[in-house]
Amino acid sequence: MVFKKMLSAFGVGGPSVDTVLTNPNTRPGLTLEGQVNLLGGDAPANIEQVVVGLVTRVEIEGHDTEYAGVMEFHRLPVSGPLQLAAKQQLAIPFQLPMPWETPITDVYGQRLRGMTMGLRTELAIARAVDKGDLDQVNVHPLPVHERILEAFQRLGFRFKHADLERGHIRGTQQTLPFYQEIEFFASPQYASTINEVELTFVTSPHGVEVILECDKRGGFLTPGHDAFGHYRVAHTDADGTDWVQVVDGWLRETTSRYGSLRGAHGFGGHGHGRGVGMGGVVAGAAVGAVGGMIVGDMIGDAFEGDGEDFGGFEE
């Protein structure tokens, strides 16, 4: 998807930008490739920097309130200072490594309700920055993610919603400033024990940490409560594993616990589970772990002005 937008910060007759993605579909740990196309305005322009960045919507809790904001969580300068002549056309190719913890937005070609992701292009000139282009990005699961999600489906769980929560899960190798929660309604065989399950992946080049939060039903004399499980799998375990049996075992072990692993600012502690196998890097995903990541501030106007229905920002 290509959006063309005159750079309003520089007035009528200023340079314009188109960003074209080679393929908007990608996976965590892979590379997003594209090209930034600049077109000079009516007069020469001294461009200080061209940057592309990943932005998404994040839920934030604080002081008894919860609200959603737009966060830039990964960015890449694609050009330093340059001079763009009047009406000059300039193409700048780029390769953006996707962080391993990039949240999943699409499963089996369907957008997860509540998820959105975009690549924003910024052009800086004369100390002004314009948000420029915004292009939709579709992030698909890695094989091990896909097998686990499929196991939940085969066990009868129904997808409810997905969102991103600002915060850190203690006891994990999380590096991004948020984590994804994929929520399911309990299947009939678990309905007497739990109401809902929230699933979180914390992914690295070597494997995936799986966090389960089960909303456990109360009994006649006991209140309901949340039970947490923390498990590890290798990317190489994706095939050759009975994931229905594994996930069922996780759920039964997690719901047998009483109490919460959640601390004041996230989860804590480790559950018992499969070890993360070293060297289980997904084929074709030779990009290293999230190097050079810059966490952006909350940017409320990141998606302004494009006039497009962009990947589920509507509720």
Indicate whether 296 belongs to any domain: no
Q: Please list the pLDDT of the chain residue by residue as tens digits (315 residues).
A: 343 444 444 455 778 899 999 999 999 999 999 999 999 989 898 999 999 999 999 998 877 777 889 999 999 999 999 999 999 999 999 999 999 999 999 999 899 999 999 999 998 887 666 667 799 999 999 999 999 999 999 999 999 999 999 999 999 999 999 999 999 999 999 988 889 999 999 999 999 999 999 986 544 445 455 789 999 999 999 999 999 999 999 999 998 865 443 332 333 333 333 333 222 222 222 222 222 222 233 333 333 333 333 333 333
Indicate whether 216 and 122 sit together in one domain: no
Spell out the long-range contacts of 219-228 with Cβ–Cβ below 8 A and sequence spacing 24 or more: 224/195, 225/258, 225/259, 225/260, 226/260, 226/262, 227/254, 227/255, 227/257, 227/258, 227/259, 227/260, 228/254, 228/257, 228/260, 228/261, 228/262, 228/267, 228/269, 228/271
Q: What are phi and psi of 230, to 5 degrees?
A: -135, 120
Q: How many CB atoms lie within 10 A of CB 280?
A: 18
What domain range is 89 assigned to?
5-139
Taking 3-state DSSP, the helix, strand and coil percentages for the chain, each rounded to the nearest 5, stand at 10, 45, 45
Q: Are residues 105 and 201 in the same domain?
A: no
Query: Does 287 reside within a domain?
Result: no
Q: Which of 233, 252, 267 is the last residue of a domain?
A: 267
Q: Tell me if 90 is assigned to some domain.
A: yes
Instruction: Specify whether 120 is located in the same domain as 157.
Output: no
**How does DSSP assign 166-193, residue by residue?**
ES--TTS---SSEEEEEEEEPPGGGTTT
Let me know if residue 87 belongs to a domain.
yes
Give the total number of structural domains in the chain: 2
Domain boundary among 246, 267, 288: 267
Q: For residues 242 and 179, what is the distance between their CA atoms, to the nearest angstrom?
A: 26
Domain end call among 113, 139, 165: 139
Q: What is the pLDDT of residues 232-290, one digit of tens each?
A: 999 999 999 999 999 999 999 998 865 443 332 333 333 333 333 222 222 222 222 22
**Burial level of 218, CB count in 10 A (0-12/13-18/19+)?**
exposed
State the Cα–Cα distance between residues 280 and 238, nearest whole angstrom.
10
Residue 290 falls inside a structural domain: no
Q: Residue 40: which CATH number?
A: 2.60.40.640
> Are residues 166 and 135 part of one domain?
no
Residues 82 and 160 in one domain: no
Same domain, 164 and 124: no
**Within this chain, do residues 79 and 164 fall inside the same structural domain, yes or no?**
no
Do residues 190 and 100 share a domain?
A: no
- H helical segments located in the chain: 143-154, 243-255
The answer to whether residue 300 sits within a structural domain is no
Q: Are 88 and 78 in contact (CB under 8 A)?
A: no
